[in-house]
Structure 1
Amino acid sequence: MHDWIVVGAGFAGAVMAERIASQRGETVLVVDKRDHIAGNAHDRRNADGVLFHQYGPHIFHTNSSMISDYLSQFTEWRPYEHRVLASVDGQLVPIPINRTTINKLYGLDLDEAGVEAFLAARAEPVETIRTSEDVVVGKVGRELYEKFFRGYTQKQWGLDPSELDRSVTARVPTRTNDDDRYFTDSFQQMPRDGYTAMFERMLANPLITVQLGVDALAMPAADRPRRMVFTGPIDAYYGHVYGALPYRSLQFHHVTLDEAWTQQVGTINFPQDQDYTRVTEVKHLTGQNHPCTTLTYEYPSAEGDPYYPIPRPENEALFKRYEALARAEENTWFVGRLATYRYYNMDQVVGQALATFQRLDAAVPRTGRQAA
């Protein structure tokens, strides 16, 4: 019997398993219902040999040197700064909105001060910012909100921005300069050999055993190690005793073309038309040299794997009921997006896992087998 079982082989599970094995010298059984490791960051080569992201684009960025240093133990990196264009009014313009966006969309030639004044003149005062609509309208006004945000958000979440927490659109900045990078973090790089290769190295410790295609919750309790790290949906762990936590899902359509490149940038957003929200040409991200290219179309869905917790007050209240159960657990630790019902970036999940391990390591006596 292993000392630990880690449920899920994505970022949260892989980091926890790696730390338990390397720092505590304890044996870990990692199980995942899917037939592969790396969770939603899983990448692989298709039949044409193009490396693609099976579950949509994953772009690594962080301001934490601790997190980048930790992952650097398992991968080398290639620099990559993500850029996104939005198809608006028949033009492709940068998103987040910047000076180029405003000048191109309106046929202007404003400097930074002019753009700032342009946006300020259109911004509508919002006394209390509660919703995603409030955030955008308060920054750039209703016209730009309608062009860039409302349709995209409705497709992505199946809800109007006025029904969603402010955190959804607060993630997207507005700029008055020409910076067209989607992220501004100090560390913006991609794993040189891909995410799956990085995860393989994270899980290569001989104290770690990986079993795929396994539903841990269907395992007899007697067959599971007493100590568990759970990274799946917290409501599933408790048999949905209070009801199911709502999630938004995605469906992906991958198309390979017999040409080297087709898009100017990594991703193009479609806020006004089309059923899909965005199209990503993954070779921009991976840097792969290949005569073919693969495009990934993303279709938001109410059904399918849980991807995005839906940020509404009633959902947070339901999660808090499950969280109260989790806090009473003595031998189970809940880590990651699904287990804590949070829309975390990859680096945030890594940070949460590293911090959780520190608390776990301080609280749980070691077996003494090969403690570091």
Structure 2
Amino acid sequence: MFDYLIVGAGFAGAVMAERLAGAGRKVLVVDKRNHIAGNTFDYYDPAGILVHKYGPHIFHTNSKEVFDYLGQFTAWRPYEHRVLASVDGMLVPVPINLNTINELYGLRLSAGEVEDFLHSKAVKIDRVKTSEDVVLSKVGKELYEKFFRGYTKKQWDLDPSELDASVTARIPVRHNRDNRYFTDTYQAMPAQGYTKLFENMLHHPNIKVMINTDYKEVEDSIVFKKMIYTGPVDYYFDYCFGKLPYRSIEFEFQTYETEVFQSTGTINYPNEHPYTRVTEFKYLTGQHHPKTSVVYEYPKAEGDPYYPVPRPENAELYRKYQHLTAELNDVYFTGRLATYKYYNMDQVVAQSLALFKKIMAQEKETVLRPVPVPAVTNGRH
């Protein structure tokens, strides 16, 4: 007898498993893949270099609770990610900031002047509805064409004018010289990698793990009380309303006979190349090695589901599935795939920590709720 069957061994499922096991619950975690750690799974390639199987994952958060929680299972290596974009034959910093503008146009603007410069380029848009609107209203047509349009078209196979404003709404434009890709309070990488972090998280006598396992193949032969589901929500309901659209990525790994391949962790290629970006892992991991390994990312329509496609009709389709989830009392849906939303890693962890607290509160309420005593009439119930 298991108290919980947890579907998925990524962050959403592993956090739930660790918390529930620590609270004395017996947990079974199952995952279709042949490994734990979900999309953050890392391993040593044939050259002996630690790489991320599903593309680069850089941890960053403003939540002390999330950072300290994960810090129980890993030491942290401080790391601030920096990204350059290949534009007009130059490598310039992104997000667009004061350095980007000065390098691109050969100027020597100050912070105040660059704000005026961008304001002069911006297109006045009365009602911002699409990703194109967001960028044009921030930086104007020229920078939109150089940095955003081609990259977005490759990433989504849609023009930015066809995409929801949320895709580019959170892309910052800075008026200072801050070249960091993220500005979160806590920026670090697990010192021994993500897989080791997950191994530590799931190492508990109350946790059993089954990999290479589709939960639908075993759920009828396993006795459990409740389910935590972190897989694709449409798969849970057998695609009864149709498949939710995702974009996927093909990863091409290369090892080079040199210590350093490129000048920063990631370089974006918005325009002429078929790939969107190239990441060199040793920047992320801090590993010292005479060779180096990189990954090229080619967006595609089919494959593992990575990015929900943010269009109104897809949101409406998800809402149909969401209504079905609300009708289930013994199944909890958490994580990216189960909620059809692109979360950062720390957001997934925070979501599962919150769900654990909710479940514990519900269990306590059930235990404390008084059992009604039947009325007695004439000595008989």
Match of 2:373 in 1: none
Asked if structure 2 preserves the Cα contact closer than 8 Å seen for 1:234 and 1:339, the reply is yes
Change (3 A) 1:345 1:220: closer
Report the CA distance between 1:219 and its aligned residue: 2.4
1:238-268 per-position Cα deviation (integer Å, ceiling 9, x unaligned): 0000010001101100101111111111000
What is the one-letter code of the residue matched to 1:45?
A: Y
CA apart distance, 1:225: 1.9
TM-score (norm: length of structure 1):
0.97
The answer for the alignment partner of 1:335 in structure 2 is 334
- CA distance in 2 between counterparts of 1:158 and 1:54 reads 23
Residues 147-188 of structure 1 deviation map (CA, whole Å, 9 limit, x = unaligned): 000100110011111111111112210011110000000000
Q: CA RMSD in A?
A: 1.3
Supply the AA of the counterpart residue of 1:157. Answer: W
Give the Cα–Cα distance (whole angstroms) in 2 for the partners of residues 4 and 11 of structure 1. Answer: 16
Aligned length: 367
Deviation at 1:52, TM superposition (A): 0.4
* 8 Å CA contact retained: 1:18, 1:203: yes
Q: Distance in 1 between matches of 2:364 and 2:25?
A: 11
What secondary structure, in the 3-state scheme, does the structure 1 residue paired with 2:86 have? strand
1:72 alignment counterpart: 71
Matched position secondary structure for 1:219: helix
CA distance in 2, matches of 1:215, 1:185: 36
Q: Does 1:318 align with 2:317?
A: yes
Seen in structure 2, the aligned counterparts of structure 1 residues 224 and 257 have a Cα distance that, compared at 3 Å, is: farther
Of structures 1 and 2, the larger Rg is shown by: 2
In the other structure, the counterpart of 1:289 is 288
Q: What SS does the corresponding residue of 1:226 show, helix, strand or coil?
A: strand
Runs of 4+ more than 3 Å apart: 364-368
Task: Specify the code of the residue in structure 1 equivalent to 2:130.
Answer: T
Partner of 1:274: 273
Which amino acid in 1 is paired with 2:273?
Q
Change (3 A) 1:315 1:117: same
Amino acid at match of 1:39: G
Aligned residues with identical type, % of pairs? 59
Measure, in 2, the Cα distance between the counterparts of 1:81 and 1:161: 29
User: How big is each residue's C-alpha offset from its partner over 1:92-124, in whole Å with a ceiling of 9 and x where there is no partner?
Assistant: 000100111111111111111111111000001
- Specify the code of the residue in structure 2 equivalent to 1:153: T
* 2:103 counterpart of 1:104: yes
**AA partner of residue 67 (structure 2):** S
1:184 aligned onto 2:183: yes
Q: Which residue of 2 aligns with 1:352?
A: 351
Q: Give per-residue Cα distances to partners, 1:6-50, cap 9 Å, x unaligned.
A: 000000000000011002x01100000000000000000011100
Task: State whether residues 43 and 53 of structure 1, in contact with CA within 8 Å, keep that contact through their aligned partners in structure 2.
Answer: yes
Confirm or deny that 1:136 pairs with 2:141.
Answer: no
What is the letter of the counterpart of residue 234 of structure 2? D
Are 2:8 and 1:4 aligned? no
Separation of aligned partners in 2, 1:366 and 1:52 = 45
Give the direction of change, closer, same or farther, for the CA distance of 1:367–1:193 in structure 2 (3 Å limit). farther
Which residue does the alignment assign to 2:153?
154
Residues 320-361 of structure 1, C-alpha deviations (whole Å, 9 max, x = no match): 110110011111100100000001000000000111111111
Amino acid in the other structure paired with 2:308: P
Summarize the alignment of residues 197-346 of structure 1 with structure 2, pairs less than 5 Å apart.
197-346=196-345
Once the two structures are superposed, what CA deviation does each residue of 1:61-113 show, in whole Å capped at 9, x if it has no partner?
00000100110110110100000000001110001001111111111111111
Q: Which amino acid aligns with 1:17?
A: A
The structure-2 alpha-carbon separation of the partners of 1:36 and 1:367, relative to structure 1 and needing over 3 Å to count, comes to: farther
